[in-house]
C-alpha cells in the first residue's frame, strides 16, 4: 500500500495562478457553466473559495489543459496524468519523438548551467510532465499493437509463461 504524503511545496497553488494567467477565464467559465468571478476566486489561493473535483474536471475538459491535475498529483508526490483518450496506435513515432524533444529540453537546461528561476522551474516541470506523458502514451500504443494481433499476443503470453516456469524474470 502507498503512503501518500502531501508535498510542502505549493504546486497546486502555483498552477492555479499560472492557469488563470494562461487562459481567458470569461470563456472558460462560460463553457464550464460557472460564474467567471467565482472561477477567478477559486483559482486565487488567497481567496477562501476552492476548486471542487467537479470544477476541476469541467475546466480541464473545456481547456484540455491538464496542468491543474498534474499539479494536484505532484502535490501528492505522484506522476503526471496521462490522457488515454488521446491514444492512437498510429502515433507511436510521434509519441517517441515528442518524448525525446522534452528530454532534450531538460538536457539542454542541465548542460547550460543557468540560474534556476521560478519561470525556468515551471518550464522544466512542464517539460518533464510532457515527457512522462508521451512515454506513457508510447508504452500504451505498443501494448495496444501487441494485443490487437491475437497471434502475437498468444506468442508473447506463451514465451512469458515459459520464462516464468524456468524462473527467468
Is residue 57 a contact partner of residue 33, using CB atoms and an 8 Å limit? no
Instruction: Please tell me the distance from the alpha carbon of residue 109 to that of residue 116, in angstroms, as a whole number.
Output: 9
Q: In 10 A of CB 137, how many CB atoms? A: 23
* pLDDT < 50: residue spans in the chain: 1
CA separation for the pair 49, 41 (Å, rounded): 6
Task: Give the per-residue pLDDT at 122.
Answer: 80
* CA separation, residue 71 to residues 89, 122, 139, 154 (Å): 28, 11, 23, 40
Q: Please report the pLDDT score of residue 144 as a whole number.
A: 81
CA–CA separation, 57 and 66 (whole Å): 9
Is the CB of residue 70 less than 8 Å from the CB of residue 15? yes
How long, in residues, is the chain? Answer: 169
Phi, psi of 102 (to 5 degrees): -65, -40
Report how far residue 39's alpha carbon sits from residue 60's, in angstroms, rounded to the nearest whole number: 13
Instruction: Write the DSSP symbol of residue 161.
Output: H
Residue 44, by phi and psi: left (phi above 0), alpha (psi -120 to 50) or beta? Answer: beta
- Residue 14: all three cell numbers together: 502555483
Integer Cα distance of 81 and 15 in angstroms: 14
Task: Tell the residue number behind the cell numbers 499539479, with chain if given.
Answer: 71
HSE-up (13 A, CA, CB side) for residue 8: 0
Amino acid at each position: 500500500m502507498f503512503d501518500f504524503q502531501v508535498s510542502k511545496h505549493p504546486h497546486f497553488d502555483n498552477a492555479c495562478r499560472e492557469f488563470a494567467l494562461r487562459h481567458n477565464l470569461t470563456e472558460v467559465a462560460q463553457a464550464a457553466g460557472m460564474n467567471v468571478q467565482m472561477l477567478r476566486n477559486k483559482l486565487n489561493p488567497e481567496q477562501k473559495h476552492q476548486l471542487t473535483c467537479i470544477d476541476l474536471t469541467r475546466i480541464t475538459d473545456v481547456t484540455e489543459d491538464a496542468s491543474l491535475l498534474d499539479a494536484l498529483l505532484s502535490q501528492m508526490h505522484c506522476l503526471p496524468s496521462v490522457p488515454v483518450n488521446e491514444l492512437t496506435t498510429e502515433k507511436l513515432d510521434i509519441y517517441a519523438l515528442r518524448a525525446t524533444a522534452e528530454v532534450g529540453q531538460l538536457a539542454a537546461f542541465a548542460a547550460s548551467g543557468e540560474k534556476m528561476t521560478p519561470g525556468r522551474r515551471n518550464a522544466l516541470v512542464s517539460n518533464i510532465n510532457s515527457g512522462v506523458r508521451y512515454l506513457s502514451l508510447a508504452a500504451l500504443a505498443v501494448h495496444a499493437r501487441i494485443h490487437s494481433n491475437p497471434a502475437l499476443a498468444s506468442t508473447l503470453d506463451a514465451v512469458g509463461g515459459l520464462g516464468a516456469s524456468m524462473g527467468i524474470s
